[in-house]
Amino acid sequence: MFEAMTEPEQVAHWWGPEGFTCPEVTLDARVGGAYRIAMQPPEGEPFHLSGEYLEVQPPSRLANTFRWEPPDPDDRETVARLTLHARDGATEVALTQGPFATDARRELHKAGWTDSFARLASHLALPDRSGDRA
């Protein structure tokens, strides 16, 4: 699970809401390292999110800043903290993120993370994650 969250090739397969793709993912998953993800919606122009890693403790903790490029007028930089726990043969992921400027922006992120985690579960369920996938 931790590798799926820190390897660019894997992140590109599961990041973002349903229907989005990530044509470019760069990650330097170490404290102080930066990341940048290009997100392509089903329609419209691509946009980016970026930030820096604040905490990287394999296999159980990740924390990073999170900002949109360009930001929406209601956006502010937030901090996303992920904690991974082994539980009953699976991995439980706990997420906190904030602070948000508005409830609408919090709900947008909540929906995006919900879709992303569903896509991550599907990605991890694939029998062979090496090489190219259709």
Q: Domains along the chain? A: 2-125 (3.30.530.20)
Structure tokens at 107: 């709900």
Tell which wins on pLDDT, 11 or 70.
Answer: 11
Give the pLDDT band (50/70/90) at residue 129: very low
Segment 104-129 mean pLDDT = 90
Question: What are the residue ranges of helices labelled H in the chain?
Answer: 2-6, 8-14, 103-125
Question: Alpha-carbon dihedral of residues 119, 125, 130, 131, nearest 10 degrees?
Answer: -60
- pLDDT band for 132, please (50, 70, 90 cuts): very low
